[in-house]
Amino acid sequence: MPDPADAPLAPTLEQPDPEPDFMEDPSIDPHPHYARLRVHCPVPQLIDGHGLTRFVVTRYEDAKAALNDPRLSRNARYAERMLVAAGMGALLDDDVAAANHNMLSADPPDHTRLRRLVAAEFTPRRCEALRPRVQEIADELISAFEGTGETEFMHDFANPLPALVIAELLGVPREDKDRFRTLSNDYMRPWGDPRQVEATAALAAYLAQQIQAKRERPGDDLLSDLVSSRAEDRLTEDELRGTALLLLVAGHETTANLVGNGLLALLQRPDQHGLLRERPELIPEAVEEFLRYDSPVERAPDRYATQDTEIDGTFIPAGSIVQVAISSANRDAAAFNGADTLDVTRAPRGHVAFGYGIHFCLGAPLARVEAQVAFATLLKRLPELELAVPVETLTHRQTSIIRALETLPLRFTPRR
Ligand code: HEM
Coil, helix or strand for 95?
helix
More confident residue, 381 or 94: 381
Residue 318, pLDDT > 70, answer: yes
Q: Is 117 in the pocket of ligand 1 (CB under 6 A)?
A: no
For residue 367, tell me if it sits in a domain: yes
- Please tell me the distance from the alpha carbon of residue 164 to that of residue 168, in angstroms, as a whole number: 6
Q: Ligand 1: does its nearest atom lie under 6 Å from the Cβ of 363?
A: yes
Q: Is residue 137 part of a domain?
A: yes
Percent of the chain with pLDDT over 70: 95
Task: With respect to residue 97, please indicate whether it lies within any of the assigned structural domains.
Answer: yes
Looking at residue 1, its pLDDT comes to 60
Question: With bands split at pLDDT 50, 70 and 90, how would you rate the model's confidence at 75?
Answer: very high
* Residue 315 pLDDT > 50: yes
Say whether pLDDT at 171 is over 90. Answer: yes
| Nearest protein Cα to ligand 1, atom 41 | 359
Q: H/E element holding 305? A: strand 303-305
Q: 190 or 333, which is more confident?
A: 333
Beta partners for residue 321, in sequence order: 304
- Nearest Cα to 185, choosing from 415, 397, 412, 407? 397
Tell whether ligand 1 has an atom less than 6 A from the beta carbon of residue 342. no
Q: CA 356, CA 359: separation in Å to the nearest integer?
A: 7
| Closest approach atom of ligand 1 to CA 326 | 10
- CA 188–ligand 1 middle distance (angstroms): 14
Residue identifier of the C-alpha nearest atom 9 of ligand 1: 354
Q: Report the distance separating Cα 401 and Cα 19, nearest Å.
A: 18
Residue 123: CA count within 13 A, CB half-sphere:
5
The CATH number of whichever domain residue 270 belongs to comes to: 1.10.630.10
Q: How far apart are CA 34 and CA 331, in angstroms?
A: 9
Task: Give the lowest-confidence range in 26-40, 91-105, 111-125, 338-352.
Answer: 91-105
Q: What is the whole-number distance in angstroms between the Cα of residue 363 and the centre of ligand 1?
A: 6
> Using an 8 Å Cβ cutoff, are 172 and 248 in contact?
yes
Report which residue type is found at 47.
I
Type of residue found at 233:
D
Number of domains in the chain: 1
* Residue 8 DSSP one-character state: P
Residue 114, phi then psi, degrees to nearest 5: -70, -35
Question: Mean pLDDT throughout 295-314?
Answer: 97
Q: For the residues of 208-266, what is the DSSP string, one character each? A: HHHHHHHHHS--SSHHHHHHHHHHTTSS-HHHHHHHHHHHHHHHHHHHHHHHHHHHHHH
Per-residue confidence band for 185, with pLDDT thresholds at 50, 70 and 90: confident
What pLDDT was estimated at residue 216?
A: 96
pLDDT on residue 78: 95
Predicted confidence band of residue 19 (pLDDT cuts 50, 70, 90):
low
Angle between helix 131-145 and helix 160-170 axes, rounded to 10 deg: 140
CA of 295 to the centre of ligand 1 (A): 12
Confidence of residue 91 (pLDDT cuts 50, 70, 90): confident
- Please indicate, yes or no, if residue 16 is contained in any of the structural domains: yes
Task: Decide: 350 and 337 in contact? Cβ < 8 Å.
Answer: no
Q: What's the confidence (pLDDT) of residue 13?
A: 43
What domain range includes position 63? 4-411
CA–CA gap between residue 208 and residue 8 (Å, rounded):
37
Q: Is residue 195 part of a domain?
A: yes
- 369 in any annotated domain: yes
Angle between helices 160-170 and 237-267 (to 10 degrees): 150
Asked if the model's pLDDT at residue 98 lies above 80, the reply is: no
Does residue 262 fall inside a structural domain?
A: yes
Mean model confidence pLDDT for the chain: 91
Residue 416 falls inside a structural domain: no
The minimum-distance atom of ligand 1 relative to the CA of 114 is 41
Q: Is the dihedral of CA 124, 207, 108, 357 positive or negative?
A: positive
Question: Average of pLDDT values for 31-48?
Answer: 93
Q: Shortest CA distance to 58 belongs to which of 322, 324, 295?
A: 324
